């Protein structure tokens, strides 16, 4: 809008300044706007504290935010060092979130049934916009998550972080390690290609040799187990890897194990806080002090 | 198993490149880099702490005033920092970096997709996902009920037992080697040798028919190995169900006893306070787990050197 457009009506009404000037006097500077915005009911209803960098506000930023409140307000000054934590636990969790998002998107394109499953993967690779990238991110994210889980475990062991009072949380961690690998394993079958089929065949063939519960395991046949009622049959929903196995893998992969793992993760993170945040870097202990313990 | 390592000039580099460039093998190539790196990093930190401990042990006055970490600290500095921004900015940065790596990785390498599943056409070699290849490699040395069911269960239970059998109060929350030699040595041996190394063997060494192919050896799909799989008792000419049964049982008992005895003597001599701290049950569990890990190693060595199939043959199961 230019000045000449707006001059006329102003002069008719006898205003001294043009409308533009009037309007401009009402326009607020960004800093004023910013200030007023934070006075509004809407803003105040969302954000419960000021934003300046006072220690109080910085604590409130963490404590009053549902996503950040897993953190304490303050931590050991050296606990943020990469050399100490390697960041592996956090990266593992981030990869899990990433896998949940890409996995959900993949589910929109996937039918867990024979014939359709493989076709859907081809469809993802060649037709769905960014489908190939999506699938690749899910696959490599899963592999990366297995590696970061292992490395997280190595770090926790090397820093003795399973020692009192964190013994129980180490056990939750071992279960999460198991579930991470099972998540990856159940996902392996879903493309329904030769790779997944034979990998899962090899993997579940071990189950038929389970002692007592498998039809080829020690004391299994003696107890009446056959290929049609043993533990492998329960896993696959059949005596061979077929349509039922695909559906079961899909449900374990997309629903059951993610829920179990999420519950364990909640416990895991909760216990990290309740056991006094991460273990260190703690002051070193001398021999004389160890002898007293 | 062919035992001759091919000379570098005779190596089939195409085969080497094929194996390390398989998209699904990239994680194992990563492991080959990441495991040594992080073990080195941990030991670098451990050495710093061990030096500090030695210094403080030598100087009791300093020990009273020192802040007891290797990181810089001056009197008056707060011992804690605000999570916002000091931790959160690092977490955010980590998320950005991981995202970038993941996207670049996903743009550069396509997830594998083989032909549609076909139960009538067996893949050769047909391999489990890479993180289970250590267990699949154990199938060479043990019957499936041990390799696939018993050993994984013991690994999980053993891992879960760790906090309850490691009664050493030292090294809680900091890297150290000198204060926790037995624990760290055992764990790293278990992880790097009995798990990661087996994964690497299962990925890069085991070719068609799960036969042993040295690095750079061409994967020959028509290779046939004329191995004489022999049970241990056949080396000694023992026959009959019960003699064989008791021979195997005896052999395993003697091995277990020898391993346990030597370990016990070492612990008694080198780590007397470990014995003092542990309850009978804790010591028993520790020893059983340690002996079992070593027995697995003994079986692996017997199999690879003398082609021994079973050491203990019974009418119901073989070990």
Q: Residue A1 has what pLDDT?
A: 43
Q: Residue A150 has what pLDDT?
A: 97
* pLDDT, tens digit (0-9, with 9 covering 90-100), for B149-198: 899 999 999 999 999 999 999 999 999 999 999 999 999 999 999 999 99
Mean pLDDT across chain B, nearest whole number? 91
Structure tokens at B111: 């997830």
Mean pLDDT within B13-39? 91
Q: Residue A287 has what pLDDT?
A: 85
Chain B residue closest in CA terms to A121? B113
Q: Which of B200, B251, B145, B282 is nearest to A230 (CA)?
A: B145
Is the pLDDT at A3 greater than 70? The verdict is no
CB contact under 8 A, A80 and B87: yes
Measured between beta carbons, the chain B residues lying within 8 angstroms of A84 are 45
- To the nearest whole Å, the CA of A234 is away from the closest chain B CA by 16
Contact present, A291 and B272 (Cβ < 8 Å): no
Is the pLDDT at A9 greater than 70? The verdict is no
- To the nearest whole Å, the CA of B290 is away from the closest chain A CA by 17
Mean pLDDT within A76-103? 95
Mean pLDDT within B303-317? 88
Pairing mode, strands A74-76 and B80-82: antiparallel
What topology is assigned to A82-278 in CATH?
Cytochrome Bc1 Complex; Chain C (1.20.810)
Structure tokens at B233: 């008792």
Return d(Cα A164, Cα A275) in angstroms, integer: 9
Q: Flag whether residue B37 sits within 8 Å of chain A, measured between CB atoms.
A: no
Mean pLDDT within A243-261? 96
ipTM: 0.92
Is the pLDDT at A78 greater than 50? The verdict is yes
Q: Residue A15 has what pLDDT?
A: 55
Chain A residue closest in CA terms to B42? A158
Measured between beta carbons, the chain B residues lying within 8 angstroms of A286 are 53, 56-57, 63
* Contact map slice: B 253-282 vs A, CB within 8 A: 273
In chain B, % of residues over pLDDT 90: 61
Is the pLDDT at A61 greater than 90? The verdict is no
Q: Flag whether residue B102 sits within 8 Å of chain A, measured between CB atoms.
A: yes
**Strand residue runs (E) in chain B:** 80-82
Asked whether the bond before A165 is cis by omega within 30 degrees of 0, the reply is yes
CB contact under 8 A, A206 and B56: no
Is the pLDDT at A14 greater than 70? The verdict is no
Q: Residue A256 has what pLDDT?
A: 97
Mean pLDDT within B98-121? 93
Mean pLDDT within A57-71? 89
Confidence label for B1 from pLDDT (cuts 50, 70 and 90): very low
Q: Which of A141, A192, A18, A133 is nearest to B116 (CA)?
A: A192
Q: Flag whether residue A238 sits within 8 Å of chain B, measured between CB atoms.
A: no
- To the nearest whole Å, the CA of B4 is away from the closest chain A CA by 30
Mean pLDDT within A30-41? 89
Q: Residue A2 has what pLDDT?
A: 47
Q: Residue B5 has what pLDDT?
A: 59
Q: Which residues pair with B313 in a beta bridge?
A: B318
Q: Residue A94 has what pLDDT?
A: 97
Mean pLDDT within B40-46? 96
Q: Which residues pair with B318 in a beta bridge?
A: B313
* Contact map slice: A 58-117 vs B, CB within 8 A: 58-59, 61-62, 68, 71-84, 86-87, 90-91, 94-95, 98
Is the pLDDT at A115 greater than 50? The verdict is yes
- To the nearest whole Å, the CA of A158 is away from the closest chain B CA by 6
Return d(Cα B286, Cα B244) in angstroms, integer: 30
DSSP readout, B49-90? Answer: HHHHHHHHHH-HHHHHH---SSS---TTS-SEEEHHHHTHHH
- To the nearest whole Å, the CA of A93 is away from the closest chain B CA by 10
CB contact under 8 A, A194 and B107: no
Contact present, B219 and B15 (Cβ < 8 Å): yes
Mean pLDDT across chain A, nearest whole number? 89
More confident residue, B5 or B225: B225
Q: What is the DSSP letter of B203?
A: I
CB contact under 8 A, A159 and B187: no
Return d(Cα B45, Cα B123) in angstroms, integer: 45
| Separation in Å, CA A137 to CA A100, A103, A151, B76 | 11, 9, 20, 47
Q: Residue A47 has what pLDDT?
A: 85
DSSP readout, A160-220? Answer: TTTSTT-HHHHHHHHHHHHHHHHHHHHHHHTT-BHHHHHHHHHHHHGGGG-TTTSTTSTTT
**Three-state SS for B98?**
helix
| Separation in Å, CA B235 to CA A141, B242, B247, B252 | 49, 17, 12, 15
Is the pLDDT at A277 greater than 90? The verdict is no
A222-A225-A227-A229 Cα dihedral, nearest 10 degrees:
170
Is the pLDDT at B107 greater than 50? The verdict is yes
DSSP readout, A226-282? Answer: -TTTSHHHHHHTSSSSSHHHHHHHHHIIIIIHHHHHHHHHHHHHHHHHHTTSS--SP
Q: Residue B198 has what pLDDT?
A: 95
More confident residue, A208 or A4: A208
Instruction: Compute φ and ψ for A239, nearest 5 degrees.
Output: -95, -10
CB contact under 8 A, B179 and A285: yes
Q: Flag whether residue A271 sits within 8 Å of chain B, measured between CB atoms.
A: no
Chain B residue closest in CA terms to A173? B160
Give the number of other Cβ atoms within 10 Å of residue A20's Cβ.
15
CB contact under 8 A, B184 and A158: yes
Q: Residue A53 has what pLDDT?
A: 84
Instruction: Compute φ and ψ for B299, nearest 5 degrees.
Output: -65, -40
Q: Which of B140, B147, B121 is nearest to B205 (CA)?
A: B140
Is the pLDDT at A16 greater than 80? The verdict is no
Q: Residue B245 has what pLDDT?
A: 93
**Top-ranked range on mean pLDDT: pick from A11-15, B205-209, B294-298:** B294-298
């Amino acid at each position: 809008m230019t000045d000449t457009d707006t001059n006329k009506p102003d002069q008719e009404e006898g205003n001294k300044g043009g409308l533009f000037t009037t309007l401009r006097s009402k326009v607020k500077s960004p800093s004023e706007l910013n200030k007023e915005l934070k006075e509004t009911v809407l803003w105040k209803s969302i954000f419960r504290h000021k934003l300046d960098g006072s220690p109080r506000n910085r604590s409130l930023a963490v404590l009053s935010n549902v996503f950040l409140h897993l953190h304490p307000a303050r931590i050991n000054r050296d606990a943020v060092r990469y050399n100490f934590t390697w960041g592996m636990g956090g990266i593992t969790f981030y990869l899990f979130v990433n896998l949940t998002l890409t996995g959900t998107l993949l589910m929109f394109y996937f039918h867990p049934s024979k014939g359709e499953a493989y076709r859907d993967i081809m469809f993802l690779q060649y037709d769905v916009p960014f489908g190939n990238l999506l699938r690749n991110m899910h696959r490599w994210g899963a592999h990366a998550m297995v590696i970061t889980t292992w490395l997280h475990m190595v770090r926790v062991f090397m820093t003795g972080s399973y020692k009192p009072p964190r013994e129980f949380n180490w056990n939750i961690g071992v279960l999460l390690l198991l579930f991470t690998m099972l998540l990856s394993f159940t996902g392996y079958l879903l493309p329904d290609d030769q790779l997944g089929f034979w990998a899962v065949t090899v993997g579940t063939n071990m189950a038929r040799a389970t002692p007592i519960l498998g039809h080829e395991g020690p004391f299994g046949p003696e107890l009446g187990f056959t290929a049609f009622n043993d533990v492998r049959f329960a896993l696959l929903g059949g005596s061979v890897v077929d349509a039922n196995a695909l559906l079961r893998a899909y449900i374990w992969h997309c629903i059951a194990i993610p829920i179990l793992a999420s519950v364990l993760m909640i416990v895991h993170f909760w216990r990290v806080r309740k056991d006094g945040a991460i273990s260190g870097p703690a002051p070193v202990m001398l021999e004389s002090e160890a002898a007293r313990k | 198993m062919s035992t001759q390592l091919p000379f570098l000039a005779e190596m089939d580099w195409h085969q080497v490149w094929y194996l390390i460039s398989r998209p699904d093998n990239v994680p194992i190539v990563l492991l080959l880099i990441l495991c040594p790196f992080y073990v080195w990093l941990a030991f670098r930190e451990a050495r710093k702490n061990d030096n500090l401990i030695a210094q403080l042990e030598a100087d009791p006055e300093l020990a009273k005033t020192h802040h007891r970490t290797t990181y810089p600290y001056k009197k008056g500095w707060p011992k804690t920092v605000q999570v916002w921004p000091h931790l959160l900015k690092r977490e955010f940065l980590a998320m950005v970096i991981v995202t970038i790596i993941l996207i670049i990785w996903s743009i550069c390498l396509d997830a594998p997709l083989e032909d549609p599943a076909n139960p009538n056409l067996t893949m050769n070699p047909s391999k489990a996902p890479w993180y289970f290849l250590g267990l699949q490699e154990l199938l060479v040395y043990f019957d499936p009920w041990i390799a696939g069911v018993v050993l994984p269960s013991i690994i999980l239970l053993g891992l879960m037992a760790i906090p309850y059998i490691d009664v050493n109060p030292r090294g809680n929350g900091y890297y150290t080697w000198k204060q926790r030699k037995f624990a760290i040595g055992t764990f790293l041996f278990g992880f790097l040798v009995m798990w990661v190394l087996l994964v690497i063997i299962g990925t890069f060494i085991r070719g068609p028919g799960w036969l042993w192919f040295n690095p750079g050896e061409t994967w020959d799909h028509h290779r046939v190995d004329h191995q004489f799989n022999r049970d241990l008792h056949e080396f000694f000419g023992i026959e009959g169900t019960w003699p064989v049964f008791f021979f195997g049982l005896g052999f395993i008992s003697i091995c277990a006893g020898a391993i346990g005895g030597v370990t016990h003597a070492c612990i008694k001599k080198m780590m007397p306070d470990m014995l003092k701290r542990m309850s009978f049950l804790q010591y028993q569990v520790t020893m059983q787990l340690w002996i079992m890990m070593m027995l697995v190693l003994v079986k692996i060595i017997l199999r690879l050197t003398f082609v021994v199939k079973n050491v203990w043959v019974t009418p119901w199961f073989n070990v």
